[in-house]
Structure 1
């Protein structure tokens, strides 16, 4: 019996709690309704004055420095590493020998190819002499010429391989990684070194559609680094994406000249400061003034004499952050409605929320 009474009491408490929550939600909903439609049925809205303001196109964008050049050297021949001439952190220039791979087998192959070529040349000379006296046919002479040419190509190939036994740098830069040691046996494709050139870097940033419209290849850009706040760096725009990414931003690359100490390193964060000439003042309205979106080119204007909302077709220009340039359709000093448009129709009475 006591158990039944306990269950009944619990059910009553739960029902009472549910009733309280529902009643409280109803009160809040009613308050919201009254707030939206207070003032004798007028729609509550917020407004803003149409003003002519100075346009500031300057902006900053953060990104990460990447090396201007970055190469991974791989072995082109098989062999044993006999010499490594650089260490990680070593500065190298074009043509610097980084390492040497055992050339004994390569030397043998080159000498064999040399002997084969010399023999083919002698055969060709004999065939040419015999051809003049009618000792061989034209076909036999052509075959001798072909054999000599093939032998020459094979000799050039072996000489190139022998030359590749010395691994040489093709850029000016720094040895970022050394992946081999003396005695290691490598095969074609084995990674040997990673070289990076940080005398110039690329700062990769993203800008929006309003910002990218004011940029062009070659623009000079000021670069700042939080790590070196007292150092001045400069750069120029070298790449502007023709298509926005999935976030509707446009990737931009700025080539940055490092200082004499090469202080900047790939992977550091940097800030690109984009500055533009002063612009003529323009009529601006808040972006939220538009019905739906900026592309609708329609706003509600507040008629101060009648306290009603009136629709107005406008011609929008540049989107400048939270403001939009108006090229036609509004005059300075008029009032546009910035919130509550979803409840408005042409000529609807409104009341302004301070």
Structure 2
């Protein structure tokens, strides 16, 4: 009987210990799962201190829904606007002597002497000297005739003929500004930049021969080629942004006083495409003649989330942005993108609004994360 009671007691104790161990095991297991879950949540975090963020050029912006305009990506070209270019022609025949280097892009101010034309050693002599002599002779004849007509020595008709000769000689003389060496001084008619120079030292030119082209480039044209499949959208195209082929800078015509000046209704110039021409103010870094990527903006705006193009990174066909979650913590967020206008890209999924998105330096965050260049995260929750 005593043995029976002892056996039951031992079994009860074993069961109690088993239950306690099982509870402890479950508690330990749950703690381990929580730690793993917590570790996993931190594994997606990228830690960048304020100093590091400054050094790698990070900029962050809170993304909110705003009016976003659709765009059509096309190709095109930057062209000089008509009326902003002047051609300098030879006002006399002779030998050219350049006063300065006239390479493409050289800055010139209105009225500055750019070259001289001399005929001193040519048959007929210097046209400037000849014009001066003719003017001085005509002037003396005119002064003499003025006195004679008052004394009725010559008729009014004779006086008018002498006066006309004097005025013609004066115009011819003024048209050939003396360079002080018996030649003709050629000056820049407008302030601007040398587009092309067609002569060099020692060249012989004749009257009316084009020698120099000067452009002001105050206004430029952007000629876009719209695929004819978008013909029905012509009426709602309002502006454009563009990126020159030689640069990563995107220019907004709305900020350059841009406007549409011509819309082709046929595709004869470039089969399959409709030409659209914008006029805008020139800006630093824009080079006439260059090709460009163009995003034609439509007037049909909508509320949407959009981020700067620089905020988006790409990996194997997927797109990501980086979100700042606290003072020194960032996380990678996959997004689905919509249309772009060259400056902003629409986000159709992945963001809700209100997130602080890295808008500059996103590539640096991507590189830092992939190389484990940022120290391990270590703060308490």
TM (norm. structure 2) is: 0.49
Aligned to 1:95: 111
CA gap 1:172/1:116 in 2 versus in 1, 3 angstroms: closer
Farther off after superposition, 144-153 or 189-198 = 189-198
1:191 is aligned, of 210, 216, 220, to 210
Aligned to 1:117: 139
Find the residue that maps to 1:275 and give its secondary structure: strand
Q: State the Cα distance separating 1:220 from its structure 2 match.
A: 4.3
Aligned to 1:143: 158
Q: Which runs of 4+ in 1 moved over 6 A?
A: none
Is this contact kept in 1: 2:78–2:290, CA < 8 A? Answer: yes
Do structure 1's residue 85 and structure 2's residue 90 form an aligned pair? no
Is this contact kept in 1: 2:134–2:169, CA < 8 A? Answer: no
Q: State the Cα distance separating 1:81 from its structure 2 match.
A: 1.7
CA distance in 2, matches of 1:141, 1:200: 53
Cα displacement string for residues 163-220 of structure 1 (whole angstroms, at most 9, x for unaligned residues): 69322223333223332222322112333223334454321123343232224xxx54
Do structure 1's residue 252 and structure 2's residue 276 form an aligned pair? yes
2:71 is aligned, of 42, 55, 58, to 58
Q: Which runs of 5+ in 2 are unaligned?
A: 1-68, 120-125, 303-381
Do structure 1's residue 265 and structure 2's residue 278 form an aligned pair? no
Q: What aligned pairs does 1:150-299 form with structure 2 within 5 A after superposition?
A: 150-162=165-177, 165-198=184-217, 200-207=219-226, 208=228, 209-215=231-237, 219-234=238-253, 235=256, 236-241=258-263, 243-246=265-268, 247=271, 249-260=273-284, 263-278=285-300
CA gap 1:110/1:248 in 2 versus in 1, 3 angstroms: farther
CA gap 1:200/1:101 in 2 versus in 1, 3 angstroms: same
Is this contact kept in 2: 1:180–1:192, CA < 8 A? Answer: yes
Q: State the Cα distance separating 1:249 from its structure 2 match.
A: 4.6
Q: State the Cα distance separating 1:71 from its structure 2 match.
A: 3.8
CA distance in 2, matches of 1:163, 1:60: 56
Is this contact kept in 2: 1:85–1:98, CA < 8 A? Answer: yes
Cα displacement string for residues 278-305 of structure 1 (whole angstroms, at most 9, x for unaligned residues): 469xxxxxxxxxxxxxxxxxxxxxxxxx
Aligned to 1:4: none
Aligned to 2:344: none
Aligned to 1:346: none
CA distance in 2, matches of 1:171, 1:250: 35
Find the residue that maps to 1:181 and give its secondary structure: coil
Q: State the Cα distance separating 1:95 from its structure 2 match.
A: 2.5
CA gap 1:190/1:240 in 2 versus in 1, 3 angstroms: same
Is this contact kept in 2: 1:198–1:258, CA < 8 A? Answer: yes
Q: Which runs of 5+ in 1 are unaligned?
A: 1-55, 281-354
CA distance in 1, matches of 2:195, 2:109: 14
CA distance in 2, matches of 1:241, 1:232: 21
Cα displacement string for residues 299-323 of structure 1 (whole angstroms, at most 9, x for unaligned residues): xxxxxxxxxxxxxxxxxxxxxxxxx
CA gap 1:155/1:277 in 2 versus in 1, 3 angstroms: closer
Farther off after superposition, 271-280 or 146-155 = 271-280
CA distance in 2, matches of 1:110, 1:172: 29
CA gap 1:96/1:244 in 2 versus in 1, 3 angstroms: farther
Find the residue that maps to 2:298 and give its secondary structure: coil
CA distance in 2, matches of 1:109, 1:245: 55
Find the residue that maps to 2:176 and give its secondary structure: helix
